[in-house]
Amino acid sequence: MLGPGASLRDVQSDALSGLRGHDTLLVARSGAGKTAVYAIATLLTGRLTVVVSPLLSLQRDQVGALRDAGLRADSVSSARSRPQRRAALQDAAAGRLDAILLAPEQLVRSEVLECLEQADVGLVVVDEAHCVSEWGHDFRPDYLAVAEVVPRLGRPRLLALTATASPRVQAEIVERLGMTDPHVLVRDADRPNIWLGVRHVPTARDRDDLVVRTVLEHHEPTVVYARTHGHTEALAEALTEAGRPTEAYHGGLAARERARVQDDFLSGRTDLLVATSAFGMGVDRADIRLVVHAGLPPSLDSYYQEVGRAGRDERPARAVALVLPGEVGLNRFLTTTAGPRPTSARAVLRAVAGGARSRYDVVAATGLAQRTASRALGALLDAGVLRADGDGYRTTTQDESAALRALQERRERLRAIDRSRVELVQTYADSSDCRRRLLLELLGESHPDRCGACDSCDAGTSVDVEDARLSGGQPVVHAQWGPGTVSAVEADRVTVLFDDRGYVTLDTAVALDSGLLTPR
């Protein structure tokens, strides 16, 4: 949030300019001042801002920041009593609030929507917007309700915010939120104060020993990421035995214990934490100096989000990933492409064919849980079996068997894409070129120069890209796989994203000189 006498950053000015005439997607690193964008927009319009925010702890922080900025802000969540929720909604409807924050699942509650429909809503903010995308690393089907709610609120301006989103995730955010003529801003993804490194280790024992040695070398606030609950507990125990008292954090802990562990770390009462990816959104401690990955996550989006926990005070920090041979196989095993069950898909199809036009109609007609219905609707829309227009959902085919086949084909396509995302992480880990350049280009931001702050640059293996025939974001056509988009260009390799195959890394000279890959 801006302090007295502070000036707007370029990214904030660009986002505010975009909001004057467009729905806006802002992809900017943590600490870039995204909250200030909608705080200022709210002050300028004098109308209610609805903020969709996924975590209770995040909502509490945001309400506090908005109130510190002089805005009348409140929240509606399961952590508040029913009278408190009712009072906040009534204040919003009566114009006594400037901003109201709620979780996406609150949007499907009739009493919430009825109050918001009475309010003068000028802006809807979708925080952590990558959650709307199945390509993202934290898909939450409740976010799909936003596209239905916005028209019922008089179609106010829409602002979507996230710290990282690859080009494919950006496209899905825009589509699934129903953004109109969107202004897409990708800014400040780079965190130049964070040194990036990868260490390859032969065995799990070697990896865990190196985790302990690396942490013991740094007596500053540290987060270690592990893939499983058991590994988290084992590393925490090993570090504690080595003389650094360590807490473990994962989804298997009781909610009260998770909250205690997180609060102790974020408040500075503890300085060392071993966690799974459950320790993610809402984590905001400025002085974390080291992030260690005991194994890489299954996507670069989630990896960069976790790396970004370090150095939020802009001081130097380090991120080290320790990688085993065969990491790709483990990540493939841990990555699942779920999808709606056939019974749920049939129920939704029959409900829409029978006249259900909204998500609420579908839930009422099928008896499905709201989250189950949301997931099925999202999959059916993505498969082209359903379409959404101003009057709600419509089926595109009366042949139920054909619809279910289309859904299965979609699932197979997503499986192929998920596999490619896992292999993309391995490409990053195995690269001897500038890690920051490769990482940022794979996430959609141009970074042509060597960074000078990664293990490859330190070792002198980072090189200038000599083949200028391709560049990030460039459309290409593959002789077998059809149209694609260049994601990253290394010294002798190019990574291309194909719609049905996902990410593919090719030898640049061979692909171009043979005519296998043609620039457009």
What percentage of the chain has pLDDT greater than the value 90?
39
Amino acid sitting at position 91: D
264-296 per-position pLDDT tens digit = 999 999 999 999 987 876 677 889 999 999 988
Q: What number is the average pLDDT over the span 506-514?
A: 86
Q: Is the pLDDT of residue 329 over 60?
A: no
Short-list 406, 358, 417, 354, CA closest to 380: 406
477-508 per-position pLDDT tens digit = 998 888 888 887 777 788 888 877 778 888 88
Domain 194-325 has CATH 3.40.50.300: yes
Tell me what pLDDT residue 414 has: 77
Q: At what angle are helices 204-216 and 229-241 packed, to 10 degrees?
A: 50
Give the architecture-level CATH label for domain 431-519. Answer: Beta Barrel (2.40)
Tell me what pLDDT residue 317 has: 97
Q: Is the pLDDT of residue 225 over 90?
A: yes
Tell me what pLDDT residue 6 has: 52
Tell me what pLDDT residue 369 has: 87
Q: Is the pLDDT of residue 457 over 60?
A: yes
Comparing 168 with 135, the larger pLDDT belongs to 168
Q: Is the pLDDT of residue 35 over 50?
A: yes
Of 23-27, 333-337, 370-374, which range is least confident?
Answer: 333-337
Contact residues for 15 (Cβ-Cβ < 8 A; gap 6+): 24, 26, 37, 159, 185
SS3 at position 417: helix
51-96 per-position pLDDT tens digit = 998 777 678 778 888 898 889 999 998 778 889 989 999 999 999 9
Q: Is the pLDDT of residue 4 over 50?
A: no
181-202 per-position pLDDT tens digit = 899 988 767 889 999 999 999 9
Q: Which fold has domain 10-187?
A: Rossmann fold (3.40.50)
Comparing 405 with 144, the larger pLDDT belongs to 405
Tell me what pLDDT residue 287 has: 95
Q: Give the side-chain half-sphere CA count within 13 A for 299.
A: 24
392-417 per-position pLDDT tens digit = 788 998 899 999 999 888 888 777 77
N- to C-terminal Cα separation, the chain:
43
Of 302-306, 333-337, 465-469, which range is least confident?
Answer: 333-337
Split at pLDDT 50, 70, 90, the class of 5 is very low
Q: What number is the average pLDDT over the span 160-174?
A: 85
Short-list 423, 354, 339, CA closest to 392: 354
Q: Compute CA distances 43 → 71, 124, 150, 178, whole Å.
A: 8, 14, 20, 25
**Residue 397: how many other CB atoms lie within 10 Å:** 14
309-323 per-position pLDDT tens digit = 899 898 999 999 999
| Sequence spans of domains, the chain | 10-187, 194-325, 330-430, 431-519
Comparing 234 with 420, the larger pLDDT belongs to 234
The domain 330-430: what is its CATH number?
A: 1.10.10.10
Tell me what pLDDT residue 459 has: 95
Tell me what pLDDT residue 109 has: 79
Tell me if 10-187 shares its fold with 194-325: yes
Tell me what pLDDT residue 454 has: 96
Q: What number is the average pLDDT over the span 166-170?
A: 81
341-382 per-position pLDDT tens digit = 889 999 999 999 999 988 778 989 999 987 788 888 878 887
- Averaged pLDDT of the chain: 86
